[in-house]
Structure 1
Amino acid sequence: MSAQRAGGGGRGRRAAGGAAPPSPGRGREEAAWGLLLVLLTLAAYATALRAGFIWDDPDYLTENPLIETLEGLRRIWFTAQTPQYYPLVFTTFWIEEKLWGLHPLGYHAVNVLLHGAGALLVWRLLRRLEVPGAWLAGAIFALHPVQAESVAWVTERKNVLSGLFYFLALGGFLSFEEKGGRRRYTLALALFACALLSKSVTATLPAAALVILWWRDGTVRARSAIALLPFFILGAASGFFTAWIEVNRVGAAGPDWSLGLLERLLLAGRVPWFYLGKLLWPAELIFTYPRWEIRAGDPLAWLGPGGILLAAFALWRWRERLGRGPAAAGLYFLVTLGPALGFLDAYPFRYSFVADHFQYLAGLGPIALLSALLARGRERLGLGARAGMAGAGALLALLGLLTLRQGRIYRDEGALWRDTLAKNPGSWMAHNNLGHLLARQGKTGEAIRHYREALRLRPGHANALNNLGNALLHQGKIAEAEAALRRALAAEPGHPNARNNLSQALLAQGRLNEAVSELESLIRREPRYAPAHANLGSALLLMGAPMTKAAEHFTRALGLNPRLAEARFNLALLHTIQGNHAEAIALLREGLRHQPDDLATRQLLAWELATAPDAKLRNGPEALRLARGAALGDDPQGLHVLAAALAEAGRFEEALRTARQAAARAGSAGLKEDAERIREAISRYERGEPLRSPAR
């Protein structure tokens, strides 16, 4: 939005769209510039393409059972079972899961391509509006490192997909403004609906359109305002629905969101300056920035809103000299940032009031203004095209290199949280999440240190207390674990993971009735919480309840989350014990599809394939392959399964050697019953007979 163009008054409709179609030569030139823009985007995000999955990606994708089946697709659209109601985003994940499974490269490539397509639309949209430096603006939008969080983080498919529809809808509405036509209008409204179904922050589009029309024509015609009314209604409905979801489903309620109106005004005055600063000087970009303390009694807190008022006064005072461009760029920036200014509660405000991905669309205002100023400045200084291209190339190369470097922090969760803590040591969230990652890697001691640091920074934080309790449980410090978990529940009584883990601490102490009571209470509160059903099934078995009762809970758990490995394994084990070998094999094969490296599943499937009484179910070569991969060192059970697979394959000498080794290991470990069972198998191998499980 150039200052020179904006000061020139209105223009006719035809001029807004360009007077004539490009010649073939012009078309090839534009295609070359477009291809260059896409290639630059791919180069800048080369490191992001090699990234893995990080925070929130399990909830949105890797552990989301809804992306697997047609029933899941129905639930994506017609229920509120996804983390947020953005059905187009989850539909793209549903499609991609069918194409390349859960390999991260495909998801990252789609994010990068969507972002590149958005940058192309930015260029074409600004060119249509005759903004000087339109291609440069599109390239800066594509390559600026503040965009890396939106592109390199798979969960932020929300931003790049909604951004694509946002620019398409905006272009469609401007086309309707210039040429009229019900079809153009309907298409623009439908594209806007797609943007809202991808991320509701795009609800600001009609307000942004008014700003553009005012900048272009110097006024907003009543016809245009009326045409935008359905956009405003649709956007408001989506925005209010998302705000309700954030508070009532996601959990954006409590002391962290208890700012008063005056504090929110001060916050709204500070946020735009922060984002503008990161656009102009993108240093020290952090996944989670420090959370500000907003105090009305602090004189410095008034600098932000005061600065906005002063800037508005200056733009108005010198409007004849500056034109409408700077004011329009600023208005677009503020309007598009509106959902992130602090007036609406969002869950991420628990950690920080700002995040790079919050300004994905809003940054276009200052970017367009800067590009226009650079283009006009080159003309006024009399610099040739080569000098301009050299300057633009240097700027884009710098931004691209910064984005390439920024993309490295998204290669895995460990890199992300360590980079966050290096730049923001006070991030209790990063300590907690790094601890959770270390615990999954078996580094329990390191994990506990990070949990304790998180609790030092944020005393009484329920998630950190729950994670600490779970880690202590794995260390066998049951009493300490129980104490931490009860503190977590005191801080947040509805915390499902804490109550679930507390039940496991009670089971470890033999307090079966208390454990079952906790799990039943949890299921009454959270009937769709799959781990509680899985653990209740296990607890009922320990209490000697009928197997059918336990099986009901395992089945329910799998219905809620088909990737819950423990529930699937336990249900398969029940079928094995009951002689339902075909059902057990089917469950175990499905389990390996989800978790191909799960040793317990591989071991039990190898046992079934080697010993099932029905010859149609047995498969000696496959059993042997699975058993070899699941037999670890001195584990007597793994060796016992391997011996059974060798016998089924007719290799009785090897089966005998392996079984005798298994019996010796079981005996030295004091596992008398296991040793006796293995010796019975040895007697069969000596007779040249493979093992057979009992038939139903």
Structure 2
Amino acid sequence: MSRRTPYIVYGGIALIALLVYLPALSNGFVNWDDQAYVYENHNIRSFDLKWLLSAVVVGNWHPLTMLSYMVDYSIWGLNPFGYHLANIVIHAANTFLVGVLGLRLTALASSDKRASLFTGATLALLFGLHPLHVESVAWVSERKDVLSTLFFLLSIISYLNYKKTPKPLSYIGSLLLFALSVMGKPMSITLPAVLLIMDFYPLNGFKAGIKKALVEKVPYFAMAIIFAGVTVWAQGSDNAIASLDYHPMGSRVLVAIRALAFYIYKTAVPINLAPFYPRDLAPSFFGIEYTSSFALVIAITAVSILFLKKSRLPLALMLFYLVTLSPVIGIIQVGSQAAADRYTYIPGLAPFMLIATGVGWISSRNKGVATALALILAFVLGALTIRQIAVWRDSVSLWSHEVAVYPDEAPIGWSNLGLAYKDRGELDKAVTNYNKATEVDPGYAEAYGNRAATYLRMGRMDEALDDLSTAIRLNPRIPELYGNRGVVFINIGEYEKAIEDLTESIGLSPSTAAKGFFNRGIAYKGLGMNAEAVSDFTRTIEADPSFAGAYNNRGGAYLRMGSYDAAIEDFSSAVRMKPDDAAAHYNLGLSYLKKGETESAVASFEKAASLGLPQAAAQLRLLKR
């Protein structure tokens, strides 16, 4: 076998993975975090190093991921094709690296080159084509998964190079790649422990003493501790971590044990995969799901220990599985889900490796049987993955699938399906789905908040106000609820109440408060408090320099204050950004008129009149008298 053969084989498998995921290129964005990461995130539209290094997005600090979105936007704008293409290409690269890693690890424990080749190939096939990974690849917001894993794998391979030939460059390279991995997604902070597991098997690094192995990992662990602190700060600042009052430690342990078994089950039987797996709020150890999960975990542990004298592989894989899952297993509860497919992207390598080792063992005895098994796996998993990719086509297909799998357990599915219909302009369908969400869980604040936003769009202010007040009573920590209630108060002319709610919204989420400042500026303007309005519109523009409406409204405040030059500057910016905004052209004309520049005023009024604004035509008639 040529030395190039494995790399050709793994490259071919990576290409197969890429081809299988091509249908995702026709998928769009979905209304689950994609808005925060991409299509409503104005910060990715320019390179701002200060923002990049300090931004917390959806409870995460991951500057490398956000940098990748900046690059995507500079090339593709808001065309989802490019974002999906990047995810798919990175996943294909990961598939290749997984094959190489499987080959190298197996070769350390076995001299059978064919078995090593088949083990790496099967591992790459399972990783590249398993439908559990569709969420990580076909969901634009999970760029962090594929990108972080790329550097995670490269860091391990660099570490293996160092262990083979102890060169400082390989060690430093592994450390730097680890840092990049964590800056892609903090879940990879487990890498130092993974390296220790590899020292245990297959490197047998403990022969030289555990102390040496630990000292070697000190820089890794120091880096992991620093990044863990940053992660806790980021998630705490975004109120992402659930309190012990809401999820007591006892229930967290039970949910974690169930999750360990759940992921193994879904690896073996990847059907009814869902974007959101609802969490049991009152789990009991005596429930069948929990007792059977506990029994399975104990059984796997016992088998791993019993096999220890014969092979360290089962115990090493079990430890890898436990360690890499530990940040997301539910002990530190982030979100309200019981589990998530995306959490298996790295931990799934453990059961995959066990299966791949079995195929490798078979290949050493019967190459044809092993090849047939690998082909069957590729065909079955590829078909399931293509079907799962279609689930992520758009928001309606995603949440329609969720409510089909969990019709009575997950109000988030009905609520987000309502949002999807709202975005399509199908407001009655949206309300119907929100109603279903409140039936499934009358205490689900988000459903009331989303229904209120739809009522607001429909002009049904009283119903919107009732729903928002109910939602705030149920969950007073959601900033959007106060923001939307503030908008309702603006619409009914209660500006003082609007300012109170919008101030609360801004305080709850300062990092995403641009809309809150804008709406509070509108409320101040309604009260004639123009200086305060200018201040809020200015803060909106600082957060989003491309927001034409903020320039238009600040210009209006300046106009009322008699600051005509400032008004002209803002209205000019507004019409530059939105040349078809008749109101902005008209306001620019008024500013020129107030300043005595009649010729410029006439030009602006004529443009506004050509865009169909009656007031502009009336001004022109007055000026011609």
The alignment partner of 1:353 has SS state of strand
Aligned equivalent of 1:644: 610
State the Cα deviation string for residues 635-665 of structure 1 (Å, max 9, x = none): xx9xx967536xxxxxxxxxxxxx8xx87xx
Structure 2 CA distance for partners of 1:524 and 1:334, relative to 1, 3 Å: closer
Q: Which residue of 2 aligns with 1:628?
A: none
1:313: which partner in 2? 302
Distance 1:202 1:527 in 2: 28
User: Which residue of 378, 392, 396 corresponds with 2:378?
Assistant: 396
**Aligned residue-pair number:** 600
Amino acid corresponding to residue 490 of structure 1 in structure 2: R
Residue 514, structure 1, aligned to residue 497, structure 2? yes
Counterparts of residues 286-685 of structure 1 (less than 5 Å): 286-292=274-280, 293-298=282-287, 301-321=290-310, 323-347=311-335, 350=336, 352-380=337-365, 382-384=366-368, 387-425=369-407, 426-523=409-506, 529-546=513-530, 548-562=531-545, 564=547, 566-571=549-554, 578=564, 580-590=567-577, 602-604=581-583, 644=610, 674=615, 678=617, 681=620
Write the deviation string for residues 552-603 of structure 1: whole angstroms up to 9, x where unpaired: 32121121234545434433555788574454232333357xxxxxxxx544
Question: 1:444 offset after TM fit, Å?
Answer: 2.2
Task: Output the amino acid matched with 2:138.
Answer: A
Q: Could you tell me how far apart the structure 2 residues matched to 1:191 and 1:503 are?
A: 46
> Aligned partners of 1:467, 1:423: CA distance in 2, in Å?
22
Unpaired runs of at least 5, structure 1: 1-21, 593-600, 624-636, 646-658, 664-673, 690-696
Q: CA deviation at 1:607?
A: 6.0
Specify the alignment match of 1:18 in structure 2.
Answer: none
Distance 1:164 1:193 in 2: 12
Give the conservation status (yes or no) of the 8 Å contact 1:117–1:164: yes
Q: Is residue 205–residue 213 contact of structure 2 (8 Å, CA) maintained in 1? A: no
The CA distance in 1 between the partners of 2:349 and 2:262, in whole Å, is: 15
Residue of structure 1 aligned with 2:29, choices 20, 41, 53: 53
Shift of the 307–109 alpha-carbon distance from structure 1 to 2, 3 Å rule, reads: same
State the distance in 1 between where 2:491 and 2:175 align.
58
Deviation by residue 1:450-487 (Cα, 9 ceiling, x = unmatched): 22222222223332222222222333332222222222
Task: Tell whether the 8 Å contact from 1:149 to 1:356 is kept in structure 2 after alignment.
Answer: yes
Deviation at 1:169, TM superposition (A): 0.8
Letter of the 2:410 partner, please give it. S
Whether contact under 8 Å (2:11, 2:96) holds in the other structure is: no
The verdict on how the C-alpha distance between 1:51 and 1:136 changes in structure 2, with shifts beyond 3 A counting, is same
Gaps of 5+ in 2: 108-115
- Percent of residue pairs identical: 26
| Deviations 1:102-141, CA, capped at 9 Å, x for gaps | 2211111111111111111111112122245212211221
3-state SS of 1:460 partner: coil
Residue of structure 2 in register with 1:276 after alignment: 264
What is the rounded CA distance, in whole Å, between the counterparts of 1:288 and 1:526 in structure 2?
24
Match of residue 236, structure 1, among 225, 245, 250: 225
- How big is each residue's C-alpha offset from its partner over 1:43-91, in whole Å with a ceiling of 9 and x where there is no partner? 1111112211121011112222322334x33222145477411111111
- Looking at structure 1, the residues matched to 216 and 246 of structure 2 have their Cα atoms a distance apart, in angstroms, of 36
- The answer (yes or no) to whether the contact 1:66–1:73 under 8 Å persists in 2 is no
Task: Give the superposition deviation at 1:152.
Answer: 0.8
Deviates most, 430-439 or 85-94: 430-439
1:258 maps to which of 247, 253, 256: 247
1:102-117 residue pairs with structure 2 within 5 A?
Answer: 102-117=78-93
RMSD: 3.2
1:569–1:591 CA contact under 8 A, matched in 2: no
Distance 1:373 1:124, change over 3 A: same
Q: Which moved more, 1:470-479 or 1:177-186?
A: 470-479
8 A contact 1:77–1:87 mirrored in 2: yes
Q: What's the counterpart of residue 693 of structure 1?
A: none
5 Å-filtered alignment, 1:104-183, equals: 104-129=80-105, 130=107, 131=116, 132-183=118-169
The question of whether the paired residues in 1 share the 8 Å contact of 2:59 and 2:237 is answered with no
| Matched residue type, 1:368 | M
- Going from structure 1 to structure 2, the CA distance change for 1:40 and 1:527 (only over 3 Å counts) comes to closer
The 8 Å contact of residues 575 and 584 in structure 1, kept in 2 or not, is answered as no
Q: Give secondary structure in 2 for the equivalent of 1:76.
A: helix
Q: 2:52 maps to what in 1?
A: 76
The amino acid across from 2:462 in the alignment is A
- Contact 1:286–1:420 (8 Å) recurs in 2: yes
Q: Secondary structure at the match of 1:541?
A: helix
Conserved in 1, the CA contact under 8 Å of 2:486 and 2:497? yes
Is this contact kept in 2: 1:48–1:152, CA < 8 A?
yes
TM-score normalised over the length of structure 2: 0.87
SS at match of 2:339: coil
CA distance in 1, matches of 2:328, 2:340: 9
Distance in 2 (CA, whole Å) between partners of 1:683 and 1:78 is 54
Show the counterpart of 2:113: none
For 1:399 and 1:440, how far apart are their aligned partners in 2? 33
